[in-house]
Chains A and B, each alone.
Chain A
Amino acid sequence: MSLSSGPHQVAQAVTGDPLEILSNVPPAAQLLLRDHIAGLEAEAGSTRAEAARLDRLRLAEIERLRLQLAGVQAERDRAFEERDAALSGWFAILRRGKRWVSR
C-alpha cells in the first residue's frame, strides 16, 4: 500500500519542515503533543533551576570554606609569628650567653 497516489497529486509546495508537518496534525493530537513538550520543558526548567540553586549553595559553601581557610591560615601565621618571636628571644639570650661564654 502506498502512502500517496504520487507527487503529482500534491497541490501545495512543501518544505519538509517538521513543525509544518506537525501543524497538520489534528487538534486533539496536537494538544497531547504540545502538552507533552510543555511538560518536558517545564521539567527541564525545574531541573535547571534546581541545578542553579545547588550551584549557588555550592559556591556559597566554597566561599565559606575559603573564608574559614583564610581564618585558619591567619591564625596559623599568627601562631608562627608568636613562636618565632618567642624563639628569637630565646636565641638572642642563647647567643648572648654564647658570646659571654666565648669571651
Chain B
Amino acid sequence: MTSRPLVAVLTVATGTDGLAATFDALVAQTESRWQWCIAVAGGASAGTLSQVRSMIAAEPRAVAAGRTAGPPGPAALALSLADAESVCWVDAGDTLDPATFATVRDRYRSTSWMYTDEAARSDDGLPTDIWYKPDFAPERLRSQPYALRLAVLPLAQVHRLGGLPATAGSAAWYELVLRAADSLATPAHLAGPFYLHGDRGTGAPYVSGQARDRCLAVSRVLSTRAEPSTGAVVVTPVEARGRPIGQRVQRRLPRIPRISVVIPTAGTSSIIHGFPRCHVVEFVRSVWTSTRYPNLEIVIVHDLHTPQDVLLEIKDITGGEAVLLPFAGPFHFSRKCNAGAVASTGEYLAFCNDDMSVITQDWLHEMASLLTDPGVGAVGARLLFADGTLQHAGHEYNGGHAGHTMFRYAADDPDEGGAALVTSERSGVTGACMLLRATDFLLVGGFSDEFPSSYNDVDLSLKIRSRGLRILYTPHATLYHFESQSREPTVTDEEMSRIRLRWAEQLQADPYVNELLRRPLPAPPSIQVQSRRTPSSTITRGAQCSSDFDSSMVQDALRTSPSRNIPFTSGSGAP
C-alpha cells in the first residue's frame, strides 16, 4: 500500500481572499490522501505569504513556494511541488464537494483522466447555477475550456506532456488539458457539481482568464497535431452578451471540395416578414448569390406539381446550372434526399430544406472545414426562426425522444454552458441543414426509407455515429429556417416505434446530455411495428425478424445507372 498522495491540488495564491475557504474544503475531504501545492505569485498582496505559512504550519499536507515573478511562473512552481499520483487545479477561493477525492479514488484505476461538473457556490456553501456538462467532447474542449474544473490528470503524464509552460500565461492549465485530450485516452466524466466557484468572474458560464491566452493555447495545440489538414487554424474569442464564452476555431480548407446542395421541394410559398415568399426560389437565390463558396452544385428534387415558373426562376438565378430532378410519388423526405444524392456529383453533400435563407455567407466553408477532421462524420448549422430564436442548435436524445437543444431560446442565450454558442459535438443534427461526405452518406445507406417524414435525420445521425464518427454543431454557420413556429410536428406512432426499435439505447443515453439528466424510455419494451412494405409481417422488439425488406425495391433501384460507386464494405459493428 503506497502512502503517496492520490491527488496534488495546485493553487496560485495572489491574495488572501478565499484561501481559507479552499483550505477548509480540502480538510473536509472524506479521502485524506491529498496534497495542497500553493505557489505564491510574485505580485501577491501583502499578508498572503504569512497566511500561507500559517496554513502550512497547521496542515502538514500543504506545501508552498513562492514570490517568483519570472520563469518558471507560479503555475509551474506549484506543479514542481507536487508529489502525488495525479494533479488537479483549484483556484484560490474555489471549493470542492467533500466527496470529490473519494469519487476520484473510486474511478482512478479505470480511467486515464477525468473531469467533473462545476457550479457557483451559494452563500450557504451549496452548489447553484450548476453547469451540467456533456461526456467528453474534444471539439467542445477546443471551443471552450469546459473540462478544466475539476480535471484530474496523472502526474507522470503531465510531466510527459510538458507540464505548465509559463508562456501559456493564464491558460497554462487549459493548454495542458488540451494536450491531454489529444494524447491520452478518453476521460471519464464524473457527473455532479464537485467543483464550486467562489467567484463566478466575468465569464459565462465559468470561463476565466485572458481570452488571448486561451486562443493561443488552442492554436498551439492544434498546430502540433499530427493531421496536416488541421495544421493551419485561426482562433478568435467568442463572447455572448459581452461576456467571454469560448473561442471559434477556424480551420483552413487545404482544397475546395465540390459541395452538392440537395434541396427537396414542392415549390410552396408563405408569408415571411410580412411578404409572400416562394421558399425554394429565395433559398436558391440566397445560396447562389450570398454564399461564398466557389465549388458548388445545386440539386433541386421537386415534386411533379411544382409550378413551372418556379423551376424557370431557379434556372434563371443559377444560369441553368442547377440540376432539376423531378420526383414522382407521395411525400417522402428520405427518398427525395436520396434521389438528389444519387444525382449529385459533389464530394460533400449538403441537405437543406427549401424554407431557409443564408445569414452567414461562409456557412458552407465553415461546415466543410470541420469535415477536414477525419473523425467528424457530419456537421449541422445553427438555424433561427424568423423572429431570431433558435430553431436548431443540435439534437438531444433523452427518454426515448429526440429534441432540439435550447429550442426557441434567444440566439445569444448563454444557458447550458453556452451550448448553442460554441462549436461542439452532438448526437445528431437536423436534416434541414446537414453537411457530410458523400462516401459516408452512401456507406450508411443514406436517409432510411423506413422514415418518410420524421426521424430520418435522427436515424442518419445515429448511423453515422455508429461508425465511430462524431457529429458537430457549429453556430458559426447560421441560416434562417422559416419553419412554422406554431405548427406541431406530426410524428406517427409507427415512425416513433421504428426509431426506438433501432436505437433504443441511444435514445436514452445521449453522451452529450449530462448523465444526471438522462431518462429511460417511457414505453414498455413490447413495441410492435407494422411493416409498411410488407403489411403481413411484424417486427417485435427483440425478435430477429427482418422480413420487411422488400427486394423488389432493390430491383427497381438496380435499373438506375450507377453514377457513384464505392467499395461495399460491411457497416461497422453495432453501437
Question: A: which residues have CB within 8 A of B?
Answer: 19-50
Are the C-beta atoms of A46 and B553 separated by less than 8 Å?
A: no
Assuming the contacts A23-B566, A35-B449, A46-B504, asked whether A29 and B557 have C-beta atoms less than 8 A apart, the reply is yes
Residue of B nearest to A49 (CB): B505
Known contacts A35-B445, A45-B505, A46-B504; A27 and B565 CB within 8 A of each other: yes
A26 engages B560 (CB within 8 Å):
yes
Whether B450 and A39, one on each chain, are in contact in the complex, defined by CB atoms closer than 8 angstroms, is yes
Q: Pick the interface stretch among B171-179, B313-321, B359-367, B567-575.
A: B567-575
Please tell me if the beta carbons of A48 and B560 are within 8 angstroms of each other in the complex: no
* Residues of chain A within 8 A of B546, CB atoms compared: 36, 40, 43
Closest chain A residue to B574 by CB distance?
A45
> A residues within 8 A CB of B572?
41
CA distance A35 to B342 in the complex (A): 15
In angstroms, Cα B569 to Cα A24, docked, is: 12
Closest to A18 in B: B568
Q: Which of B466, B561, B566 has a CB less than 8 Å from the CB of A42?
A: B466
Task: Please name all residues of chain B whose beta carbon is closer than 8 Å to the beta carbon of A27 when the two chains form the complex.
Answer: 341-342, 442, 560, 562-565
Per the bound structure, the CA–CA distance linking A30 and B575 in Å amounts to 21
Q: Give 12 CB contacts A-B under 8 Å.
A: A19-B567, A24-B562, A27-B564, A31-B442, A31-B445, A32-B445, A32-B557, A34-B568, A35-B449, A38-B463, A42-B574, A46-B501
Q: Quick check: A41 and B466 within 8 Å, CB to CB?
A: yes
B525 in contact (CB, < 8 A): yes
Contact (A26, B561) CB under 8 Å given A19-B568, A38-B445, A39-B450: yes
With the chains together, A33 CA to B541 CA distance in Å? 21
**Total number of B residues with any Cβ neighbor in A under 8 Å:** 47
Asked if B549 contacts A36 (CB within 8 A), the reply is yes
Q: For residue A21, which residues in chain B have a CB less than 8 angstroms away from its CB? A: 568
CA–CA, A80 and B103, complex, Å: 42
Query: Are A23 and B501 neighbours in the complex by a CB distance under 8 Å?
Result: no
Which residues B338-379 have CB closer than 8 A to chain A?
A: 338-339, 341-342
Cross-chain contact A24 with B565 (CB below 8 angstroms): yes
Least Cβ distance of A17 to chain B in Å?
9
**Which one of B341, B504, B553 contacts A32 once the chains associate, using CB atoms below 8 Å?**
B553
Chain A interface, DSSP helix/strand/loop, else mixed: helix
**Chain B residues packing against A (C-beta within 8 Å):** 338-339, 341-342, 442-450, 462-463, 466, 501-505, 525, 539, 541-542, 546, 549, 553-554, 557-558, 560-575
Q: State the Cβ distance, B105 to closest chain A Cβ, in Å.
A: 23
With A39-B445, A45-B575 given, can you name 13 additional A-B contacts, CB distance below 8 Å? A24-B562, A25-B554, A26-B558, A26-B562, A27-B564, A28-B339, A28-B557, A29-B560, A41-B571, A41-B574, A45-B466, A46-B505, A47-B542
A45 to B567, CA, bound (A): 24
Q: Are B568 and A20 touching (Cβ within 8 A)?
A: yes
From B503, B560, B571, give the contact of A34 (CB < 8 A). Answer: B571
Most chain A beta-carbon neighbours within 10 Å: one of B339, B446, B447, B539: B446
In the complex, chain A residues whose CB is within 8 Å of the CB of B567: 19-20, 23
- A40–B546 alpha-carbon span in the complex (Å): 7
Q: A23-B565, A25-B568, A44-B574 are in contact. Are A36 and B503 (CB under 8 A)?
A: no
* Contact partners of B573 in chain A: CB under 8 A: 41, 45
- B502–A32 contact, CB under 8 A? no
Q: Do B463 and A42 touch (CB < 8 A)? A: yes
B462 to chain A, nearest CB (A): 7
Closest to A26 in B: B562
Q: Which chain A residues lie closer than 8 Å to B562 at the CB level? A: 24-27
Are the C-beta atoms of A34 and B466 separated by less than 8 Å?
A: no
The reply to whether A37 and B571 contact each other, CB–CB distance below 8 Å, is yes
Distance in angstroms between the alpha carbons of A31 and B566 in the assembled complex = 11
C-alpha gap A29/B450 in the complex (Å):
15
Q: Once the chains bind, are B574 and A48 in contact (CB under 8 Å)?
A: yes
Known contacts: A34-B442, A35-B449. The answer to whether A23 contacts B504 by CB under 8 A is no
CB-CB nearest 3 A-B residue pairs: A35-B445, A45-B574, A34-B445
Within the assembled complex, what's the spacing in Å between the Cα atoms of A39 and B338? Answer: 16
CA distance A26 to B554 in the complex (A): 9
Once A19-B568, A28-B338, A33-B445 are accepted as A-B contacts, the answer to whether A42 and B450 lie under 8 Å apart by CB is no
Select from chain B the residue with minimum beta-carbon distance to A44.
B574
Q: Is the CB of A39 within 8 A of B560?
A: no
B-side contacts of A40, CB under 8 Å: 546
B445's contact among A37, A47, A48, A50, by CB below 8 Å, is which?
A37
Q: Are B505 and A37 in contact (CB under 8 A)?
A: no
Q: CB < 8 Å: which of A19, A28, A49 contacts B504?
A: A49
Name the distance in Å between B526's Cβ and chain A's nearest Cβ: 12
- Complex Cα spacing A102 to B165, Å: 97
- Contact yes or no, A28 B466, CB < 8 A: no
CB <8 Å contact, A39 and B502: yes
Q: Closest CB-CB distance, B510 to chain A, in whole Å?
A: 14
Tell me whether A46 and B445 are in contact in the complex, defined as CB-CB below 8 angstroms, given that A19-B567, A28-B560 are known contacts: no
**Across-interface contacts of A35 in B (CB, < 8 A):** 444-450, 463
Q: Which of A23, A24, A38 contacts B444 (CB 8 A)?
A: A38
Residues of B within 8 A of A36 (CB): 445, 546, 549
